[in-house]
Amino acid sequence: MIRQRAILHVDMDAFFASVEQQDDPRLAGQPVVVGGTGARAVVAAASYEARRFGVHSAMPMREALRRCPQVLVIQPRMRRYREISAQVFEIFRSFTELVEGLSLDEAYLDLSDRLHPGGSAEAIAREIRARIHALTGLTASVGVAHNKLLAKLASGMHKPDGLTVIRPAEVEAILDPLPVGRLHGIGARTGARLEQQGIFTLGQLRQAPESVLWPLFRRETRRIRERAAGIDDRPVVTDVPEKQISSEETFDRDLRDQRLLGERLAGLAERTARRLQERQLEASTVTIKVRRRDFVTYTRQRSFSPPTQETSLIVEVATGLLRRWFEEQPRAAVRLLGVGVGDLAPARQLDLFTAGRASERAFAAASTAGHDEHPPGPDWTP
Ligand SMILES: [Mg+2]
pLDDT tens track for 360-374: 344 444 445 666 655
Whether 164 shows a pLDDT value over 50: the answer reads yes
Distance CA 216, CA 210 (A): 10
1-7 mean pLDDT: 78
Contact 262, 322 (CB under 8 A): yes
Whole-number Å distance, alpha carbon 100 to ligand 1 midpoint, is 15
pLDDT, residue 345, reads 84
List the one residue out of 319, 366, 359, 13 whose CA is nearest residue 162.
13
> How far, CA to CA in Å, does 80 sit from each of 20, 21, 106, 136?
9, 13, 16, 12
Residues designated as active site: 106
Whole-number Å distance, alpha carbon 105 to ligand 1 midpoint, is 5
Give just the sign of the alpha carbon dihedral 82, 85, 89, 90. Answer: positive
DSSP 258-273: HHHHHHHHHHHHHHHH
pLDDT, residue 121, reads 94
Q: Which CATH code, of 1.10.3720.10, 3.40.1170.60, 3.40.50.880, 3.30.70.20, is assigned to 15-78?
A: 3.40.1170.60
Q: What confidence tens digit (pLDDT) does each residue in 31-56 have?
A: 999 998 888 889 999 999 999 999 99
pLDDT, residue 199, reads 97
Comma-separated ranges of CATH 3.40.1170.60 domains in the chain: 15-78
pLDDT, residue 353, reads 40
214 confidence band (pLDDT: 50, 70, 90): very high
Comma-separated ranges of CATH 1.10.150.20 domains in the chain: 172-228
Whole-number Å distance, alpha carbon 133 to ligand 1 midpoint, is 15
CATH class of 244-373: alpha beta
Distance CA 343, CA 378 (A): 22
Q: Identify the architecture of domain 172-228 in CATH.
A: Orthogonal Bundle (1.10)
Q: Between residues 240 and 164, which one has the greater pLDDT? A: 164
Q: What confidence tens digit (pLDDT) does each residue in 301-317 have?
A: 999 888 999 999 999 99
Backbone region of residue 191 per phi and psi (left: phi > 0; alpha: psi in -120 to 50; beta: other values): alpha
Whether 382 shows a pLDDT value over 50: the answer reads no
Q: What is the mean pLDDT of the chain?
A: 88
Comma-separated ranges of CATH 3.30.1490.100 domains in the chain: 244-373
pLDDT, residue 140, reads 98
Which residues lie closer than 8 Å to 179 by C-beta, 6 or more apart? 191, 200, 201, 202
227-235 mean pLDDT: 94
List the one residue out of 72, 71, 74, 63 whose CA is nearest residue 36.
74
Give just the sign of the alpha carbon dihedral 55, 334, 188, 76. Answer: negative
Q: What confidence tens digit (pLDDT) does each residue in 56-95 have?
A: 998 999 999 999 999 999 999 989 999 999 999 999 999 9
pLDDT, residue 376, reads 42
pLDDT, residue 374, reads 52
**Rounded to two decimals, what is the model's pTM?**
0.65
Number of alpha helices (DSSP H) and beta strands (DSSP E) in the chain: 14, 14
Whole-number Å distance, alpha carbon 44 to ligand 1 midpoint, is 11
